[in-house]
Each structure stands twice: as structure tokens, then as C-alpha cells.
Amino acid sequence: MDAATAAAYHDSLAKALSAGSAVLKRHGNALDAVEAAVKVLEDDPLFNAGRGSAFTAEGKNEMDAALMDGATLAAGSVAGVQFTRHPVSLARAVMEHTPYVMMVGAGADAFSRAQGLEQQPPSFFFTELRWQEFASVMRASGRPVPPRPAGVGSATGPAASSASPMFAHRFGTVGAVARDSEGHLAAATSTGGMQGKLPGRVGDSPLIGAGTYASDRSCAVSGTGVGEYFIRLTLARQICTLVEQGHPPQQAADHMIHAELPALKGGEGGVIVIAPTGHLVWSSNTLGMFRAKEEQGSLPAIQVK
Ligand code: ASP
């Protein structure tokens, strides 16, 4: 990756970190902090969430997001939403304004409008680089590249090549975990999912216990990788179970990411984790996972990816 691209990633992670840490510094809660951090990353086209999301085989964005409050085990999530600028905030609205944990598709989009959350057309979420990456995934799997989304002009700017950072950065799901000054934990995750997924496919990110989990009794986790494997292992919850059983968080995360995940052929990914002590760990079995963290001993702490 060239220096300018690396600087752009660092810059974006620093912004997300400071949005979350600003909440914690004014004694806001961990849930507000992770939502604030993820919103910054959803707006950044570098990442596969919100603006810059991956495309379904039909060339549409179907975004998934979740968040969880470690203090109460309250959780909210959405899958397959198409128009909400900040899917993580829609997940929070599901948690706070419905008796449900999860809403999907057209019903979730309608709920988003009813809640007055900001709606955007497909052209808002579209980025040329992500589209080129998508087109190459479709070609590589022998599938036709669908027409560009309505409202998006013809190709402009540099086309992605296999050397593009977007290709090196295969996943790009965003997430945050935090501990607040009261000692409560929270986790949030947001994604456009896998490039070229069939319409209706849902990954691990919005599934509580798979790509996202938080409990004050153990830890908070946000994952990225091939969602199907995270789902089959209930990976985020499993890390927390190991921590509850007395394993150090690093050991628990490494066991799931470096032993259990690759034991399922094709299991690739990584996690960020925070423990009730404020201790932040991460683990990844992929080429890389962009991440940033801020910790102050046993005081508030936050990690983003
Ligand atoms: N875990 C996400 C999914 O399977 C993809 C990613 O992490 O980029 O939908």
C-alpha cells in the first residue's frame, strides 16, 4: 500500500477513535461511544459499510449492522437495509424503540423512515473503487456484471486494479468496542457484506453472538471476515464464553481466530475485543486488519476497526 493510502486509513481510524473517545471522556456511555465511532466509518468510503458498501450480485447495497449493550444485554440489529445513511443507528433504534432485536429488508427500511433516520439514494452509497472491485469479483466467478445503479454516471476516476488497496483490504467491515467510566462494555459492527453476495444473504455482523457480542461479565467483541464461518462458530459469543471460563481475552480471541476458524476450511477473519478491565486485544488470521485503540489504564477505553 502506498504512503498516501495508508495515511488515509490512519486518518479515518483516528477520526473514528476520537469520535468515540470524546463520548467516553465526557462520561458518556459505551453504547454511545461505539455508535459514534462506527458512524464515522460508515461515512468513509474507504470502508465496506454505509458509504462504500459492497454490492449484491444485482448491483445493490444491502447493509447489515448491530450493536449490543454489555450492561443489560440489550441488542439491536438490522440486515439488508438499502437507504439508511447510518445502519448502526437504525440497529440502535430497533433496540430502543421496538420490542425486537432484529429487523430485515423492506420492513427495516420502512421502520427507518418512520423513525426519521436519514435516508439516501443508491448513488450516495456508491463508490467507483468498490464497484470495480465488485465487477472483478463477478467476472472471476463467471457471473455477469449488472448495470450500474440508477443515478450513478458512467465510470470516472481511476479503475481499481488487483494491486488496489481495496483488494488487499478484502473485508472492510467496521466495528468498535468500548468500556465507559462506569465499567460498562458495548460493541457495534456495520457492513456492506461480501462482494457479489446473492440478494438476501445475511452475514455474521448483525447476528448477535456471531459477529457482535457484549457482556459486562466477559467482554465485547466485533468481528470481520467470511461471515458464514463466524455464524457457524457463534464466534463472538464463544470468545466471551472462554473469557467467562477464566481464559485471558487474548488467549480466547487467538484460540477462536487461529485454531477454530481455520479448522473450518476457508475460515478467515479477525476480531477486536475489550475486557471489563479496559484491556484491549485483537486477533486476525488475514493479511491485515486496520485498527486503532485508545486506553488509559483502567479508565475508559475504545478500539475500532
Ligand atoms: N463479515 C462480513 C460478512 O460476512 C464481511 C466482512 O467482514 O467484510 O458479511
> 157: CA distance to ligand 1 center in Å?
26
Ligand 1 atom 4 nearest Cα? 227
Looking at the DSSP bridge assignments, the partners of residue 212 are: 208, 222
Beta-strand ranges (E) seen in the chain are: 63-69, 75-81, 102-104, 174-179, 185-191, 212-214, 220-225, 269-274, 280-284, 292-295, 301-304
The pLDDT assigned to 297 comes to: 64
> 253: CA distance to ligand 1 center in Å?
18
Ligand 1 atom 8 nearest Cα? 171
> 42: CA distance to ligand 1 center in Å?
14
The size of the chain, in residues, is: 305
Taking the CA of residue 64 as reference, the ligand 1 atom at the shortest distance is: 9
Given the residues 127, 173, 189, 212, the one annotated as active site? 173
Residue 258 is given by DSSP the state I
Q: What are the structural domains, with CATH classification, of the chain? A: 3-149+157-304 (3.60.20.30)
In this structure, the residues whose C-beta lies within 6 A of any atom of ligand 1 are: 48, 171-173, 191, 193-194, 203-205, 211, 224-227
Please give the chain's pLDDT, 305 residues, in tens: 788 988 999 999 999 999 999 999 999 999 999 999 999 999 999 999 999 999 999 999 999 999 999 999 999 999 999 999 999 999 999 999 999 999 999 999 999 999 999 999 999 999 999 999 999 999 999 999 999 998 898 876 555 454 454 444 567 899 999 999 999 999 999 999 999 999 999 999 999 999 999 999 999 999 999 999 999 999 999 999 999 999 999 999 999 999 999 999 989 999 999 999 889 999 999 888 899 999 876 668 898 99
* Active-site residue, 173 included: yes
The pLDDT assigned to 168 comes to: 47
The pLDDT assigned to 162 comes to: 47
Ligand 1 atom 9 nearest Cα? 193
> Ligand 1, residues 38, 224, 257: which to mutate, most atoms within 8 A of Cβ?
224
Taking the CA of residue 193 as reference, the ligand 1 atom at the shortest distance is: 9
Give the strands of the sheet with 269-274, arranged side by side.
Answer: 212-214, 220-225, 269-274, 280-284
The pLDDT assigned to 296 comes to: 76
Residue 163's contacts (CB-CB under 8 Å, 6 or more residues apart) are none
Q: DSSP for 109-132? A: HHHHHHTT--B--HHHH--HHHHH
The pLDDT assigned to 260 comes to: 97
